[in-house]
Homo-oligomer: A and B are copies of this chain.
Amino acid sequence: MSFETALKTAQDDIQATLTDLLVAFDGPVGDAMRYATGGGKRLRGFLVLETSALLDVPRERALRAAAAIEAVHAYSLIHDDLPCMDDDNLRRGQPTVHRKWNEATAVLAGDALQSAAFEWLAAPLTHPDASVRAELVLTLARDAGATGMVWGQALDMAAESAEDPLTLEQITELQRLKTGRLLEWPCRAGAILGQADPVHLLRYAADIGLAFQIADDLLDVEGEAATVGKAVGKDADAGKATFVSLMGADAARDRAHALVKSAQDVLLPFGTRAATLAAVARYVVTRDK
């Protein structure tokens, strides 16, 4: 199966799983939960499916973990887009949740998506072994919480009001938390579901996580808003330190490609079975949105 076909199939399967799981939720908050989890690249969910496939995890189990990480990702975007945070009007080419509904609905839909993710992971259908389910919950709670993604968001907020722009070291640490941790978790989840040592997959994840953020910074400078689906040029306008502002576009691009190569090297022991994961690494830096 080509990478494009595998990604498209994963996107459809993850959407079907989310549609099925989210049917439980009524009213505007339920509608906002469905809206915010609709569309998107499904990169995090795809990583769960592909790392799970590598370890022979049944796809229906991996799909529940994929839905959970997509729900947490969507919650983080809803709250990050709020007026008191990044104040964004557009996400994936559509009005953000607080623009389409209102701020209260956005707060509640984000809150409920976080709860839903843990509900899905903890339910017996995710894995017959409860210790696997508990480990999925524990690791996602850490990666999403105040020592993971939220900590990265707090550093990002602090940077905005700081006198000096961040150094390259600081921005790397910030992004390793803010974006990296929710890109690492899918690879960890594959290993947990497959009851395998996560060490190789986590090295792969760390490389593509950083490459992903560098690519995001390049898109903010070079992308078209219509294609990217959100406002571009925001970081430069805000005088915010990014990989591009600190390294220059060419060096940033070189670094992203080196990280892709490093991620692909980690996969070598898995041979051709990891071909799609190798393609994911390339996709992370060549995507146009």
Contacts and interface: CB of A to CB of B under 8 A. Distances in A.
B25 A146 contact: yes
A179 to B, nearest CB: 16
A111 B110 contact: yes
Interface in A185-218: none
A213 to B, nearest CB: 19
A155 B28 CA distance: 10
Interface in A131-165: 131, 133-135, 137-138, 141-142, 144-148, 150-151, 153-155, 157-158
Contacts of A119: 137-138, 141-142, 145
Contacts of A25: 146-147, 151
A79 B157 CA distance: 18
Interface stretch (A59-67, A100-108, A238-246, A273-281): A100-108
A219 interface: no
A1 interface: no
B29 A150 contact: yes
B84 A102 contact: yes
Contacts of A110: 111
Given A85-B104, A102-B84, A134-B130, A111 B154 contact: no
A250 to B, nearest CB: 34
A142 to B, nearest CB: 6
B115 A145 contact: yes
A47 interface: no
- Using C-beta atoms within 8 Å of the partner chain, give the interface range for chain A: 35 or more
Given A85-B107, A122-B141, A115 B27 contact: no
Given A115-B141, A118-B137, A154 B84 contact: no
A51 interface: no
A131 B102 CA distance: 39
A123 interface: yes
Nearest to A114: B114
A198 B109 CA distance: 30
B29 A154 contact: yes
B29 A151 contact: yes
A257 to B, nearest CB: 33
Interface in A1-36: 24-30, 33
A112 interface: yes
A144 B108 CA distance: 11
The 4 residue pairs across chains A and B that have the minimum distance between CB atoms: A115-B145, A84-B103, A119-B141, A112-B146
Interface of A: 24-30, 33, 75, 79, 82, 84-85, 102-105, 107-112, 114-116, 118-119, 121-124, 129-131, 133-135, 137-138, 141-142, 144-148, 150-151, 153-155, 157-158
